[in-house]
Each structure stands twice: as C-alpha cells, then as structure tokens.
Amino acid sequence: MADLIAFFSRNGQNYVRGMVQDLAVGNTEVVAGIIQRLTGAELFKLEPLQEYSRNYKECIAQAQAQADQQRNARPELKRCPESLREYETIYLGYPNYWSTMPMVVFTFLERYDFTGKIYPSFCTHEGSGLGSSEQDIRR
C-alpha cells in the first residue's frame, strides 16, 4: 500500500519569526516536502475553491471572524482524491488557524472513511501550538 501526505498550506504573507513575511511556498508545504523526501509518500495539496487572501490580515479575518470558523464552514475543495483505499498511512498537514485546523481540512476529513488508516498529523505554527486540532481530528 502507498502513503499520502494531504496538506493545506498558504503562500503569500505569513507570520514568520514574529513578523509578516511574503513566502513563495507556505510553511506547511515546506514540512510536507521534507516528510515526502523521508518517506516517499505521494503529495496532495488541499486547495479551497475560493482561495484565502494572500494578505495576512485579510486571511486571518476570512479564516475566523468573517467566514469560516464562526460559521463552521466546509469550504469546497478544487479537487479531491477519488478514494483513499490505496493508502495505508495518510499524513495530514495544516497550519494552526485560530487554535485548530483551517476549515478546508475539516472538509477533507469529513469526505472520507479513515477506518483502519494510520493518520499522523503535523501542524505548523508560530508558537501557538496545536490548539484543539488533535481533538478535532479524532472527532
């Protein structure tokens, strides 16, 4: 069986080392690439149909107050794997968005049956930790 790294990552303005910087590749995508080199797993980038703003302040407003989290939104994905049957391990990567995962990751998780799968997760953050994301994944 194969392994998959499903991740959401955002380039553009990001909070890095205490300041907003413009990134060509998002932090979570960098980590996903390292895991891919170590494991040989296939990469799959979760991309919302309606992308978040590249502007950091606008993005955090979209992710929390204006839309996603307060509405418990499930943003549509541009594409999804047809099935996860062929994968034994599915690494799940995401940045911490307001103490949990971006809602697009919830969309992905709710689409599939993970029974019998191994699904380690990894979370990028600037010191805020995992928040409630571990419990949210279990649910």
Give tens-digit pLDDT for 43-88. 999 999 988 878 878 877 776 654 556 566 788 899 999 999 999 9
Q: What is the CA radius of gyration of the chain?
A: 14
Classify residue 84 by its DSSP letter: -
Classify residue 65 by its DSSP letter: I
What's this model's pTM, rounded to 2 decimal places?
A: 0.85
Strand, helix or coil for residue 108: helix
Q: Which residue has the tokens 């541009």?
A: 78
Answer whether residue 98 shows pLDDT above 70: no
Report the b/e string of 103-113 with b at 16+ CB within 10 A.
bbbbbbbeebe
Q: Which residue has the tokens 């994968």?
A: 87
